[in-house]
Structure 1
Amino acid sequence: MAREHPAIPVLDLSGTPRQIGAAHGEDQRTRIQECVDRFLSWIYSGAAVTVDQQSLWAKWSPQVSFNEQVAPQLMAEMREIARGANVPFERLFLLNSMLDVLSFRYLPMAQNFGCTTFAVATDADTGATLIGQTYDMPELLQDSLLMLRIKPEQGPRQLVFTFAGIVGACGMNEAGIGVCINYLSPLDVGVGKLHSVVVRQILAAQNLADALVAPVVPPRAGGAHYLVAGQTGEIISIESTGRQYETFFPDGNAIGHTNHYLGSAVKHLEFVREGSIGSSLARYTALRRYFREHDADLNLRSLQQLTRNHTSYPSSICAHGQDSDPTGKRGRTLSAMVHVLAEGTTHITSGCACENEFHPVAL
């Protein structure tokens, strides 16, 4: 099985959190600097009110001490990424807050965050459990895709999809635990765990029970949907707000999610974003229809085909953004992926799946 990807760098990291972070930062220095610059420039230029790094950091800096308390090892890793990349820690921390910082409602750019997640308990051909997603973000981040193959000093090995400089966006581990995510926008956000921290805490778990602690214990800095699966077919869908959560389970063999709340217990906490809600509802409808029509043949190939779905194009599962979006800021599918948990393999594209091939990367 392939250890590398033709278009996405795959970085092998091992050791202590500080060693892992230092190697990440040093190896990806130029790409991290570019990713930080592009992301923060996009934040500052897109805000509905005047905002710069000083004013944003004044509001966001309380997140640091809290995350130091609940995730000291991951914070040590971030600090070493910043040092190795020669990037101020404040800027690197803001980058690792990529989804959470958009909870500020004067930052209206979240219409570009349109991931679609899905999981199948039993592959129709092999019996394997599959979990995957499209990762839809502004196209200015296309050149920042990165995969981390991590062998920590303690805990399971991990295969992590992320962006240069960020500790984690989704992935799987050698214990057969996988996690995929959707951005959600709740009203009750505040100081809490970063999304990137939650992802890595899930992937540090040796079993599903331990993996489910991180996404449900509050507080969280932002809202997200965490789709978590184990290699023997257990799947749980977790909608989280800053303080609350609600769980769902497959009705049959498959389950999926987009970017709006489904649960009655948390729906009242949703901040409905006019620029993205239509796409989210349309993609969820297309997702459910695909599951119904392909119920008997849901497998690796059919899930890869799902990521090419153009219902409600260009605001589709395979997202292509609006022609009216400024150059570089168009929200589109930067990567599509399916994790085969028992194999420890991620099949992944660089760019939209309708234009690019899936390539396997092994844990």
Structure 2
Amino acid sequence: MVLEILCEGNPYQIGHAHGSNAKEQIRSSIEFYNGMFQKTSKMDWAAVRRLALEDFQGVIQRKWPAYMQEMQGIADGAGLDVGDIIALNVRSEIAFGLFSDGCTSLSWHSDGKAYVCQNWDWMEEQKPNVVLLHIKQEGKPTIKLLTESGQLGKIGLNSAGVGLCVNAIRAYGMDPTRLPIHIAWRMVLECSSKDEAVAKLEKYGLASSCHTLIADPTGAVGIEWSSIDFQKLYADSKGRVCHSNHYLLDHPGVTDTNWLTDSTPRAKRICDISEKCDVKDLTVPAIQELFKDETGLPGAICRMQEGESTAATLFNIVTDLVEKKAYVTLGRPTAPEGNLVLSF
């Protein structure tokens, strides 16, 4: 099962609770990414940490000091240098998106129902280092967040009914003056509405490429980011936004490497199979069935780490934004290893 941690108080206290309770997982995560960086970027962890400090520490401290305080708390709690924690939170930016994690996401708003959901795919070696954070802080919504240990943000929901799903995209370019994507994802879940979250991200911009699917009970918007622009995806005639791991919209001046050959088929597949669903019967179990689809294995919606597919589905999450509940299936949805219900 996933390690659950209650984090509450000021930013430093939140971080310290995270770091002190997940010492083992954070050190294991650093070991994992040390191997990844050496393989993909020919850098050892000392070089990665040095880049994180040189390129990002000053910017984050100046523009978003609360997040730096939280990272310092994580470091102190885990008995590590703050450079280790910054590096975990900017791993995508340092590697220019070279990590090939692949995910499939879907939001669906229809007949008073509102869901945002995805399979999160990454290397199975990182599965033990996923943690569930319950974050309580004054003046902001309470957050329930599934993330890699040591990272401030990723996938989850908050007590205001805002939900977030994410997709990796590998496009060239990085701008350290903008929000690192894992910190941006945390910022989304500190907002009281979809519109507030979108406005904040537009204000700061993101440092590297990704897709963020932001939703609340009123609707959803998918935002495709690069280090120089963003483009928005709105719901289709059935109330859906579907995405995988490549740009669906045009980004002038940006090169999308579309590095996962299965990304285009997966985006089409989630649209095709959800098209067959009757919106009148739209339920959590019905949506969970969509994410069990294994067409195109190993690079399917329900992914396997086999052959050229270097990642597997580590969990599925279906968030009911009206009920403020998220239903999590740990492991591949066709071979579940456990279940969680996150609720407010």
Above 0.5 in TM-score? Answer: yes
Instruction: Give the direction of change, closer, same or farther, for the CA distance of 1:86–1:206 in structure 2 (3 Å limit).
Output: same
Residue 298 of structure 2 corresponds to 314
Residue 134 of structure 1 corresponds to 119
Residue 227 of structure 1 corresponds to 213
Greater length-normalized contact order (CA 8 Å, ≥ 6 residues apart): 1
TM-score (norm: length of structure 1):
0.88
Tell me how far 1:258 sits from its aligned partner: 0.3
Tell me how far 1:249 sits from its aligned partner: 0.8
Residue 289 of structure 1 corresponds to 272
Residues 1:208 and 2:202 are matched in the alignment: no
SS in 1 for 2:210: strand
Count of aligned positions = 339
| Ranges in structure 1 where 5+ consecutive residues have no aligned partner | 1-6
Distance 2:295 2:253 in 1: 28
Instruction: Give the direction of change, closer, same or farther, for the CA distance of 1:209–1:94 in structure 2 (3 Å limit).
Output: same
| Ranges in structure 2 where 5+ consecutive residues have no aligned partner | none
Tell me how far 1:23 sits from its aligned partner: 0.8
CA contact (8 A) 1:40 1:95 kept: no
CA contact (8 A) 2:107 2:220 kept: yes
One-letter amino acid of the counterpart of residue 281, structure 1: T
Identity %: 22
Distance 1:253 1:223 in 2: 25
One-letter amino acid of the counterpart of residue 150, structure 1: I
Tell me how far 1:324 sits from its aligned partner: 5.8
Instruction: Give the direction of change, closer, same or farther, for the CA distance of 1:114–1:164 in structure 2 (3 Å limit).
Output: same
> 1:215-253 deviations in whole A, cap 9, x for unaligned?
333442211111011123x11111111120011111122
CA contact (8 A) 2:246 2:258 kept: no
Distance 1:128 1:298 in 2: 8
Matches within 5 A, 1:1-363: 7-47=1-41, 50-60=42-52, 61-103=54-96, 108=98, 110-111=99-100, 113-122=101-110, 127-191=112-176, 192-232=178-218, 234-251=219-236, 252-264=238-250, 266=251, 268-274=253-259, 276=260, 278-296=261-279, 297-323=281-307, 330-356=310-336, 357-363=338-344
SS in 2 for 1:212: helix
Tell me how far 1:208 sits from its aligned partner: 2.4
TM-score (norm: length of structure 2):
0.93
One-letter amino acid of the counterpart of residue 157, structure 1: T
CA RMSD of aligned residues (A): 1.9
Distance 1:236 1:343 in 2: 19
CA contact (8 A) 2:117 2:318 kept: yes
SS in 2 for 1:33: helix
> 1:83-137 deviations in whole A, cap 9, x for unaligned?
1001221121111123333316xxx4x33x1011111113x7xx43111111111
SS in 1 for 2:323: coil
